Amino acid sequence: MKFVKNAIGRLVPTEVNGEKQVPYKGIGKHKPSGRKAAPLIVSAADFPRDGNKLQPTLKYALKKAGLKNGMTISTHHHFRNGDLVAQQIFDIAHEMGVKNLRWLPSASFECHSSLIKYLEDGTIHHIEGSMNGALGKFTSEGKMKGIGILRSHGGRYQSIQDGEVHIDIAVIAAPTADPFGNATGDRGPAACGLLGFALADSQYADKVIVVTDNLIPFPCIPWQIHGNYVDYVVNVDKIGIPEKIVSGTTEVTKSPDRLLLAEWTVRFCDEAGIIREGFSFQAGAGGTALSIGIYFAEILRERKMKARWARGGSNKYLVKMMEDGLLDYILDGQTFDLEGVRSMRENPNHVNTSPFTSYNYHGKGNFASMVDVVILGATEVDVNFNANVVSHSDGYLLHGIGGWQNCLFSKCTILPVPLFRDRIPVVRDECTTICGPGELIDVIVTERGIAINPLRKDLIKTMKNSKLPIKTIQQLKAEAELICGKPQNPEVTKNPVAIIKWVDGTVIDTVWKLKL
């Protein structure tokens, strides 16, 4: 296996799972050439004229779709930890003796740990998507047959659109669908809000199977997934566990440290002039992010101002903000609680988006770069503002990228992070894995001070007289090391277990097998 140092100084393989890779070249430096993937032309003559695409079982549909060794099977993660469909697909594949599948989930969750047996017995060759928790541990320890590929939500769309990944069979679990394959996520017993993560799959896969537990007569309105892309529909008893799909109870943080991060982040935004009439923002669903959203709302209410749009993950706080008239639109990528689902179903200003609209870097622009401020997390940040979001400092791969890389393109990207976790510095000389280049990360907020990226001279000037504890990133690093000592790098082998793709399909970093 050959390696090359990429533009951000990381050693990356030039070939992965038999496919040539392009090393990261810098932001906007890799210009794609060629044409998008071109799906096969089909004819309505080969589909039932009455629109009824129902098949008796998922197994039957998978067989009809031609499931065989070496295929790529895609799923979406809108059911999060309540997914009951991915497991069934690979149970069937195993039963049929099918081997060497590539699984392309838009993300994986703890509930998918049960698939480890299929990684072990060769049913699944490798995963392209997030490898969280037990799957991450399995991967980090070098037990997966192939090399994992991690992509952002936008990168997943880009890779499918660009033909880097060809999906043989897409299985789309749908909370409500009609026999033609029109499907929606905003209603039904397993309602999850939207189905945007399955959009690329529906558009580009050779065969598309919709699996639902709420079959309704045509037409299923809204049709978040177009039946015109769907080959087969399967009606089953249960596709997801509702309480694990949407929590129903997203709560703000009560940790004083996290509340401080939230408060400082909001004060920073305010002093920097970001919170103004018509501004836009994106915050996640974590406790700190939720608190930040609530503070934004308070400020807007006080000053009788209104935000124009927020990018979701939606939750009850964001929904309340809109319903209170403090926000015009929620452009939602995934709904995190029941209020999010309700709002999406009822309110035309709560709009379902997709990685195509929001994140795809190989489109004619996307929404992510228009956001005034985005608040993100990280496991590590280095002195060049590069950050890590997939591995921990012990070298274990434990998270997916999600939309994180894509969001970095916002007008101001802020990472509120603790200076250290379990006495391991978060701000450090070097990241265990680089997921995002420092040039795109503007501000690091820790409980012991705030660092502004030196590239953001404008922000540094604006914040010159701030009473917030503005420090350099080196100062923050020194403070962390003073308390925790210099962090040790994890002991790794020279064998890659996964690569991290940048938003343009190039390889930004490698995850190495751990020395155990």
C-beta of 48 vs 70, nearer to a second copy: 48
C-beta of 419 vs 503, nearer to a second copy: 503
Please, what is the minimum distance in Å from the beta carbon of residue 171 to a second copy? 15
Most distant CA pair in the chain, distance? 72
CB atoms within 10 A of CB 394: 14
- Cβ-contact 328, 306 below 8 angstroms: yes
Please, what is the minimum distance in Å from the beta carbon of residue 43 to a second copy? 6
User: Is 444 strand, coil or helix?
Assistant: strand
Burial of 97 (0-12, 13-18, 19+ CB in 10 A): exposed
C-beta of 128 vs 231, nearer to a second copy: 231
Distance CA 13, CA 20 (A): 9
Please, what is the minimum distance in Å from the beta carbon of residue 491 to a second copy? 38
C-beta of 336 vs 356, nearer to a second copy: 356
Please, what is the minimum distance in Å from the beta carbon of residue 45 to a second copy? 3
Distance CA 106, CA 129 (A): 6
User: Burial letters for 286-316: b for 16+ Cβ neighbours within 10 Å, e otherwise?
Assistant: bbbbbbbbbbbbebbeeeeebbebbbbbbbb
Please, what is the minimum distance in Å from the beta carbon of residue 328 to a second copy? 8
- Cβ-contact 10, 434 below 8 angstroms: yes
CA distances from 302 to 317, 373, 432, 472, 504 (A): 17, 20, 43, 33, 41
Q: Using CB under 8 A, list all residues that contact a second copy.
A: 27-28, 30-51, 53, 161-162, 180-181, 208, 217-219, 221-223, 226-231, 278, 308-309, 329, 331, 348-349, 351, 356-357, 360-367, 369-370, 409, 411, 504
Distance CA 494, CA 232 (A): 44
Please, what is the minimum distance in Å from the beta carbon of residue 362 to a second copy? 5
Q: Which two tokens stand for residue 130?
A: 């997030």
Please, what is the minimum distance in Å from the beta carbon of residue 299 to a second copy? 20
Please, what is the minimum distance in Å from the beta carbon of residue 379 to a second copy? 26
Using alpha carbons only, give the angle 296, 297, 302 rounded to the nearest 5 degrees: 100
Residue 412, CB half-sphere, CA atoms under 13 Å: how many?
Answer: 25
C-beta of 33 vs 488, nearer to a second copy: 33
Q: Which two tokens stand for residue 252?
A: 């703000």
C-beta of 38 vs 482, nearer to a second copy: 38
Residue 267 per-residue DSSP state = H
Please, what is the minimum distance in Å from the beta carbon of residue 306 to a second copy? 12
Burial of 504 (0-12, 13-18, 19+ CB in 10 A): buried
- Cβ-contact 412, 374 below 8 angstroms: yes
C-beta of 1 vs 221, nearer to a second copy: 221
C-beta of 504 vs 509, nearer to a second copy: 504
Residue 421, CB half-sphere, CA atoms under 13 Å: how many?
Answer: 12
Q: Which two tokens stand for residue 272?
A: 């920097």
Please, what is the minimum distance in Å from the beta carbon of residue 345 to a second copy? 9
C-beta of 325 vs 365, nearer to a second copy: 365
